[in-house]
Amino acid sequence: MRKSAGREQHVRANTESITIVLNKPKYPGNVGSIARCARNMGIRKIIVVGNRDLSVEEMKQMATHFAAGIVEGIQHFDRLDEALATFHYIIGTTSRRGSGRGPCVSPREMAGVVVDASQHNDIALLFGPEDTGLSNDDLRFCHLLVTIPTSKGMKSVNLAQAVMIVCYEIFVARAVPLEEFTPRMASSEELEGMYAQVKTALMKTGFLHPQNPDHWMMHIRRLLGRTKLFSKEVKIIRGICRQLEWSMRNKKT
């Protein structure tokens, strides 16, 4: 733990490691407003998934000249898994709760996690479409879910407002670094390869029901997602799966 003059040294989130990922946004004005919010909070990277027809001029109008450069630098992807492939820690936002979505934390609780993780890992803040939000299938990529507390009479929050609240909490958060050096966590692409292999191995052993394997896989994802797996650990788990499959094949012969 770092100390300075006998006192603990607090650090802030590394905003250079943070990207806002917008999954299928519908309105260019919202994306422009989000660009301005991001610029206010020191975040400069935005990814848009699934909608390449948004008017750049409308986005720039809402972003103003202050954040026009962020609009110009937006990366576009057609699929969410491709957009998230290189990220090590993914935070999903949702206003809907339920057993199918798993436990959620507040933006303030989330911010403390981001401060530590962002020092050596690329972080994605994932937001869904304005009308429906993120689906259960979208949330399977996430390591952590965030919900913004609101009054019971009006639970939904405007997309740009939600981005601003989440980014503000990250911007003002400070934490004591847990270690001098934290290894990079496994990327989303590495994790998805591991989960596919785990699913195959568990189906062959009969642990997963073949008619609805994804239901139990979601619980396994949440369990492993809380551990912040490193690349080396992902390789170990994949090696275990290969050994299980090899043993099953040899047992049959």
Q: What is the pLDDT of residues 67-95, one digit of tens each?
A: 999 999 999 999 999 999 999 999 999 87
Q: Does residue 180 lie within any of the structural domains?
A: no
For the chain, the average pLDDT equals 86
Residue 62 tokens read as 């809402």
Q: What percent of the chain has pLDDT over 70?
A: 89
Q: Does residue 1 lie within any of the structural domains?
A: no
Mark whether 171 and 192 lie in a shared domain: no
Mark whether 170 and 134 lie in a shared domain: yes
Task: Sort 208 into a burial class: Cβ within 10 Å, 0-12 / 13-18 / 19+.
Answer: buried
| Structural domain that includes position 200 | 188-252
The single-letter code of the amino acid at 213 is: P
Q: Does residue 3 lie within any of the structural domains?
A: no
Q: How does pLDDT run across 243-252, given as a tens digit for each residue?
A: 888 777 777 6
- In CATH, what number is assigned to the domain containing residue 197? 1.10.8.590
Find the mean pLDDT for residues 151-168.
88
Check residue 247 and give its pLDDT: 79
Domain count, the chain: 2
Q: Where residue 177 falls among pLDDT bands split at 50, 70, 90?
A: low
Task: Convert 9-30 to b/e letters by CB count within 10 Å (16 or more is b).
Answer: eeebbbbebbbbbbbbbebbbb
Q: What do you get for the CA distance between the two ends of the chain, in Å?
A: 54
Check residue 8 and give its pLDDT: 63
Residue 212 tokens read as 């609805």
Q: Where residue 5 falls among pLDDT bands split at 50, 70, 90?
A: very low
Q: Is the pLDDT of residue 6 over 60?
A: no
Residue 191 tokens read as 């994790």
Check residue 231 and give its pLDDT: 83
CA distances for 192 relative to 12, 14, 82, 122, 142, angstroms: 30, 25, 11, 16, 11
Find the mean pLDDT for residues 161-178.
87
pTM of the model: 0.77
Mark whether 157 and 192 lie in a shared domain: no
The pair phi, psi for residue 66, each rounded to 5°, is -60, -40
The single-letter code of the amino acid at 146 is: V
Find the mean pLDDT for residues 109-125.
92
Q: Where residue 54 falls among pLDDT bands split at 50, 70, 90?
A: very high
Task: Single out the residue in 121, 149, 175 at which a domain terminates.
Answer: 175
Extract the runs of DSSP E, i.e. beta strands, from 148-243.
174-175
Mark whether 171 and 203 lie in a shared domain: no
Using only C-alpha atoms, the chain has a radius of gyration, in whole angstroms, of 20
Q: Is the pLDDT of residue 214 over 90?
A: no
